[in-house]
């Protein structure tokens, strides 16, 4: 990642959008006086009906109205993460369709729970589908496939249950987190932290990497190993 913002904000910035609500805690727009956790980034500043392009290539897995999301498009990328584009006015893709970065997925709208035309862009972890709570973290801190090719360190999880355990290590190392479905992309990474699951398949995917095995026999043991490793670096 380069610059102050990550790829999504640079991508939409180049297209005239600006952040209208960042990722993280914020006053709840629908419950005055309450705090809400914003699980994505809102981009606005363009009129209703402006084309919304995808930040990422992949396969469309969702393209319909989903309650508070309004008209939603979901795209699964090569790492298995799900990119959500919500509150669209119209949808221009179908489930199962393959898209490339920059393809239009629909138009800017304010469908669902929205106070005005904006794009809510969220990245969900593999397996989390369209769940509001399945978020990866700040989309501007996500490593897209071509950025992964340049990283020296990476974390591998056993399953989604290891995600929270590994988050402090991810924040310390500032590196991408891999689920088992995308081990093939680890070939050039030089140091890999295994935070769940077996070591053998990781060694096969990245035979030249230095492997730091923090996997325990269950997720509690893994959490303890990660904490003691964090204390030692
Ligand atoms: Zn939002």
Q: What is the CATH number of the domain that holds 221?
A: 3.40.50.12090
Query: Is the pLDDT confidence value at 19 over 80?
Result: yes
**Which are the contacts of 206, defined by CB distance < 8 A and separation ≥ 6?**
183, 186, 187, 188, 189, 192
* Any domain includes 200: yes
CA-closest candidate to residue 87, choices 56, 122, 60:
122
Same domain, 129 and 222: no
**Cα(39) to centroid of ligand 1, in Å?**
7
The last residue of one of the domains, among 120, 141, 162, is 141
Number of structural domains, the chain? 2
Query: Is the pLDDT confidence value at 3 over 70?
Result: no
Q: How many Cβ atoms sit within 10 Å of the Cβ of residue 27? A: 11
pLDDT for 83-125, tens place per residue? 999 999 999 999 999 999 999 999 999 999 999 999 999 999 9
Same domain, 14 and 64: yes
8-state DSSP, 134: -
* Any domain includes 1: no
pLDDT band at 142 (very low <50, low <70, confident <90, very high): very high
Top pLDDT among 1 and 199 is at 199
Percent of the chain with pLDDT over 90: 82
Rounded to 10 degrees, the C-alpha dihedral 149/154/159/161 comes to -130
Query: Is the pLDDT confidence value at 149 over 90?
Result: no
Query: Is the pLDDT confidence value at 1 over 50?
Result: no
**Cα(83) to centroid of ligand 1, in Å?**
13
**Cα(156) to centroid of ligand 1, in Å?**
29
pLDDT at 30: 82
pLDDT at 2: 40
User: Mean of the pLDDT values across residues 4-27?
Assistant: 94
Same domain, 135 and 187: no
pLDDT at 150: 83
Q: Please list all protein residues whose beta carbon sits less than 5 angstroms from ligand 1, which is an ion.
A: 40, 42, 120
* Any domain includes 22: yes
**Cα(110) to centroid of ligand 1, in Å?**
11
**Cα(169) to centroid of ligand 1, in Å?**
27
Structure tokens at 74: 């979901």
**Cα(43) to centroid of ligand 1, in Å?**
8
**Cα(86) to centroid of ligand 1, in Å?**
8
* 40: CATH: 2.70.70.10
Residue range of the domain that includes 187: 151-232
Q: Are the C-beta atoms of 68 and 122 separated by less than 8 Å?
A: no
* Any domain includes 81: yes
**Cα(98) to centroid of ligand 1, in Å?**
25
* Any domain includes 146: no
Question: What's the gap between Cα 205 and its chain centre?
Answer: 22
Same domain, 12 and 106: yes
Structure tokens at 195: 């935070």
User: Mean of the pLDDT values across residues 131-158?
Assistant: 91
**Cα(69) to centroid of ligand 1, in Å?**
9
- Give this prediction's pTM: 0.88
Query: Is the pLDDT confidence value at 188 over 80?
Result: yes
The last residue of one of the domains, among 90, 122, 141, is 141
pLDDT at 29: 78
């Amino acid at each position: 990642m380069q610059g102050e913002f990550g790829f999504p904000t640079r991508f939409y910035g180049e297209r005239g959008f600006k952040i209208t609500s960042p990722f993280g805690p914020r006053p709840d727009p629908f419950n005055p006086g309450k705090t809400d956790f914003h699980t994505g980034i809102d981009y606005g500043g363009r009129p209703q009906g402006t084309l919304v392009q995808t930040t990422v290539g992949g396969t469309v897995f969702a393209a319909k109205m989903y309650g508070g999301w309004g008209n939603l498009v979901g795209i699964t990328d090569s790492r298995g993460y799900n990119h959500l584009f919500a509150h669209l006015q119209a949808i221009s893709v179908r489930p199962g369709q393959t898209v490339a970065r920059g393809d239009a997925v629909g138009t800017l709208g304010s469908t669902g729970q929205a106070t005005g035309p904006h794009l809510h862009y969220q990245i969900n972890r593999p397996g989390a589908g369209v769940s509001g709570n399945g978020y990866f973290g700040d989309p501007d801190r996500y490593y897209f496939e071509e950025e992964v090719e340049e990283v020296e360190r990476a974390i591998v999880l056993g399953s989604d249950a290891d995600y929270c355990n590994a988050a402090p290590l991810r924040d310390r190392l500032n590196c991408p987190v891999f689920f088992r479905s995308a081990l093939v992309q680890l070939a050039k990474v030089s140091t890999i932290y295994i935070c769940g699951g077996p070591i053998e398949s990781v060694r096969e995917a990245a035979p030249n990497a230095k492997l730091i095995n923090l996997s325990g026999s269950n997720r509690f043991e893994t959490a303890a190993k990660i904490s003691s490793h964090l204390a030692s670096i």
